[in-house]
């Protein structure tokens, strides 16, 4: 029963942090230090649950892109999403070929949280001085694709924070428009990453039967929590800046550094 409670807690953490700009990977690495490390398959499955929640939230937008792609504006937006995804995928394949391993040191996560929080505050102030625009340019699409890959290499950075704030700085300085593009790009990107990880797990043939009950519970909890977390975020940013998330990152990261230093 204790292990099931830990699975539920990890699903909640993933659901809350996957799309909020506070780093899901960083929070899961921290949580697993005290709740016990989970398999790569478990982490992939609960991430897929969070992604599916965002598909449900943006279903109308996704359907419109594919059913009205003949309209110039819809086609332009769709092509920019595809290019951003392909850039991330290409860079991801390069890192795999180079044998890059995801760093798991908590000190690095803590510093990424702090530095990312400071960067978010500065970036939002800079973006606020630019002319208001909801338009996603090709520059935004390319930079978002690169930002996704960079965030994936540095736990604690946050994929959503990196992509949203790159979009804000590159000209899409409407918070809702920048967030929507970042999240829509994230859907195929993270499904592809999850599929690749699952493929590696099955190809590896570890010989250990997965805990299907634990995987199902983690998936469902993550999906449900992510759905409400993202809905809340989209309402929140209509009237508020991202400063509260930046402050949280700085305080949490600093506390973690103090804790690590003390231990």
Could you tell me the residue ranges of all domains in the chain?
A: 2-262
How far is the C-alpha of 18 from the C-alpha of 24, rounded, in Å?
5
Query: Which band of pLDDT confidence, cut at 50, 70 and 90, is reported for residue 131?
Result: confident
DSSP string over 42-78: HHHHHHHHHHHHHHHHTHHHHHHHHHSTTSHHHHHHH
Predicted pLDDT of residue 44: 82
How far is the C-alpha of 39 from the C-alpha of 202, rounded, in Å?
13
Query: Which band of pLDDT confidence, cut at 50, 70 and 90, is reported for residue 204?
Result: low
For the segment 208-235, what is each residue's pLDDT rounded down to a tens digit? 557 788 889 999 999 999 999 999 999 9
Predicted pLDDT of residue 206: 53
- With contact defined as beta carbons under 8 Å apart, do 153 and 100 qualify? yes
For the segment 137-167, what is each residue's pLDDT rounded down to a tens digit? 999 999 999 999 999 888 889 999 999 999 9
- Give the mean model confidence (pLDDT) for residues 69-83: 94
Given the structure tokens 């939230």, which residue do they identify? 57
Query: Which band of pLDDT confidence, cut at 50, 70 and 90, is reported for residue 1?
Result: very low
Residue partners of 104: CB distance under 8 A and separation at least 6:
29, 155
What mean pLDDT, rounded, does the chain reach?
89
Give this prediction's pTM.
Answer: 0.90
Share of the chain above pLDDT 90, in %: 60
């Amino acid at each position: 029963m204790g292990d099931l409670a830990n699975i539920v807690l990890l699903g909640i953490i993933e659901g809350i942090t996957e799309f909020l700009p506070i780093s899901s990977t960083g929070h899961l690495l921290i949580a697993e230090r005290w709740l016990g490390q989970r398999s790569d398959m478990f982490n992939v499955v609960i991430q897929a649950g969070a992604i599916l929640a965002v598909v449900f939230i943006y279903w109308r937008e996704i359907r419109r892109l594919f059913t009205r792609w003949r309209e110039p504006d819809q086609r332009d937006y769709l092509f920019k999403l595809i290019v951003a995804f392909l850039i991330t995928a290409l860079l991801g394949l390069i890192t795999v070929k180079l044998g890059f391993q995801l760093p798991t040191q908590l000190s690095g996560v803590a510093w990424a949280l702090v530095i990312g929080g400071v960067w978010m505050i500065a970036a939002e102030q800079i973006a606020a001085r630019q002319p208001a625009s909801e338009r996603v340019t090709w520059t935004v699409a390319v930079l978002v694709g690169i930002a996704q890959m960079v965030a994936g290499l540095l736990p604690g950075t946050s994929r959503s924070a990196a992509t949203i704030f790159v979009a804000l700085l590159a000209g899409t300085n409407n918070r809702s428009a920048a967030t929507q593009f970042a999240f829509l790009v994230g859907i195929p990107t993270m499904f592809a990453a999850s599929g690749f990880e699952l493929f590696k797990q099955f190809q590896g043939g570890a010989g250990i039967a997965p805990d299907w009950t634990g995987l199902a519970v983690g998936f469902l909890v993550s999906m449900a929590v992510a759905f409400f977390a993202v809905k809340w975020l989209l309402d929140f940013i209509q009237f508020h800046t991202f400063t509260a998330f930046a402050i949280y990152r700085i305080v949490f990261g600093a506390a973690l550094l103090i804790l690590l230093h003390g231990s």
